Chains A and B, each alone.
Chain A
Amino acid sequence: MIEVKNLIKVYGSNTDKVLELIEKGMSNEEIKNKTKHVVGVRDVSFTVEKGESFVIMGLSGSGKSTLLRCINRLIKASSGEILIDGQNIITMSGKDLEEIRQHRMAMVFQRFALLPHRTILDNVGYGLEIQGVDKRKRLDKVLEVIEMVGLKGWENSYPENLSGGMQQRVGIARALATDPDILLMDEPFSALDPLIRQDMQDELLDIQNKLQKTIIFITHDLDEALKVGDRIALMKDGCIVQMGQPEDILLSPATEYVARFVENVNRSLALTASSVMVRPRYVVHPKDGPRTALNFMEKHGLSTLFVLDRLGKLKGYIKAEDASDIASQGIKDLGGIIQTDMPTAGPDSPLAGLLEVMAYTKVPIAVVDENNKLQGALVRGSVIAGLAGGRGEMNNG
């Protein structure tokens, strides 16, 4: 677990004075004009749980890279605490710091930071080599992680012979080779082409599913943040302006700044079925009979209706024409016309995956929980409203 408490980083020689001014509430701009000191990170606090992917997002100059570098003390913070399982990074001895850097955390860099004079094998083995693991012992582990990132066969190549995406795979393999619990990723995919970037994001998620590392991930790309992050912190001028789950950031931006930031995002990546579904007001039970069902449909202009059992579990849906058929035949029970081949989704299903389903089906998508109880329905209107930035609360069913 990583706890960051009231972290401040001031660049310059007289930090004490600037810390006082920050205490007094002077803005970064005023401090810069008055003292020529730059405030990189300003009173930031957050906690990252074990196994969580925490994304720090912001534009360049927002202090996100500085914050990341404070965590492994590549940059020494001016004030505050950074606790890794209770040990304070800022005050620990150089020896302890080396130990933690060797065994507990590893970093992935924006421009890959591969050593050009070493083969892929030796680049990936760098961390183990620093730990003093001898060559024969590190080989197994190195080959294992190289295979994990899909670079088998490239062991003896040099970085210059690899494409950008492959180079970053080496960077990730190198970070995984020492089995750290914490991965610090500094805009790892920003230097890659968009398509390759998406592949790498997917692969990172796969790896994360398998290994459950604690990840702190820096990016300036909101789409990436929404995809990768369990939680997101949005930074501006050294402060965290909003922190929360992807949906919180999207649906309830805390400030004007955040709102502007999320304006152009691909919302389908962050929105889940439950955030855009509508409450299914009109449902029938099998015993209700075709007349009641037809009444409902006629009244509300629907062509289908969900059918639930007594416990609220979804049984399927019926079509208007089938209902009028059996009504004319005098059948009282709907059981014979219930259609069960219908699209369903869980409350947490990402909207991105459901859009295609919606395009090809005329029935609303039913959102059901793990017990198959109906929670809501996805209809086109509400989904489009959600994608457009509204709250997805339209009355329809």
Chain B
Amino acid sequence: MDSIPRIPLGEWTDNFITYLQINFGSGTQAFSDGLESLIKGLQGFLISLPPELVIIVVAILAWWLAGKKIALFTVLGLFFIYNLGLWSVTMETIAMVISAVLFCMIIGVPLGILGAKNNTAHRIIMPILDFMQTLPAFVYLLPAIPFFGLGVVPGVITTIIFAMPPVIRLTDLGLKQVPEELIELGKSFGSTFFQMLLKIELPLARSTILAGINQCIMLSLSMVVIASMIGAKGLGGVVWRAIQTLKMGMGFEAGVAIVIIAIILDRITQNLGKSK
């Protein structure tokens, strides 16, 4: 075994990233700027809204989709976060989650459709997803820095990578679960590819796809917290600062705020698929 020289996987990776940086650096910079203005804009917008308004709107949404109890929890939970003085960092986190989930959907749903429709694509996409999900997040948190610098952009991009797999997987699964007879129905009436997709397949896969989006949201939330290590700020930033300065109370407060947000997001989006 020892006669085989060590395989320099690490060096190769370094070389590859340097190569990408040199050749595609300017492209990623432009993309990075665009993404940054989007996220910053959303953050600024959410922070500028009066907290009372946000609480009321979210509570109504919760009532409508998840019922009275969750609505009550939403009001109390968000008020508690406001009371702790964590409101604006929470809005920062929410803005990052929204941006990441948006991108996950825009990229993930079409990839899921591609995977469901095309066997070759399916065989290529699935191992990549396994890789994305199992590779420790820290390992690709670092390479994001040379491309996108420190801050929210690499944070959101790593979040997208981390949180997108369930959207792709469950879109793929949802489409494959459409009963064969309904596919035959669509074809036998002469539906085109897009008519099949929009009128039969996506509506029937809806609840499965929304389950994927729910998972995506939860994964995004956990990842934007970790991404604070590369300067993504938000609630995770508070936790990170607390760790570095050993302020346990501050860390716990931010941690509780994250849990509250997680519960609200989960309960609301979990019920999206069930309502008609």
Contacts and interface: CB of A to CB of B under 8 A. Distances in A.
Nearest to B206: A117
Interface centre among B184, B185, B191 (most CB of A within 10 A): B185
Contact of A74 (B187, B192, B204): B187
Contacts of A100: 190
Nearest to B189: A127
A117 B203 contact: yes
Contact of A113 (B181, B190, B192, B199): B181
Chain B: interface secondary structure?
A: helix
Contacts of A184: 188
Contacts of B195: 130
B199 A74 contact: no
B199 A109 contact: no
B200 interface: yes
B219 to A, nearest CB: 28
Nearest to B196: A130
A72 interface: yes
Nearest to A178: B189
Interface string B159-201: 0000000000000000000010110110111111001000110
B189 A130 contact: yes
Interface residues of B, number: 17
Given A115-B200, A116-B204, A101 B181 contact: no
B182 A101 contact: no
Interface in A77-106: 97-103, 105-106
Nearest to A112: B181
Nearest to A116: B204
A126 interface: yes
B190 A74 contact: no
Contacts of B200: 115
A101 B185 contact: no
A107 B184 contact: yes
Given A111-B181, A115-B182, A101 B188 contact: yes
Nearest to A132: B195
Contacts of A98: 190-192
Contacts of A126: 185, 189, 199
A213 B201 CA distance: 30
A99 B190 CA distance: 7
B204 A117 contact: yes
A99 B191 CA distance: 9
B185 A109 contact: yes
Interface of B: 179, 181-182, 184-185, 187-192, 195, 199-200, 203-204, 206
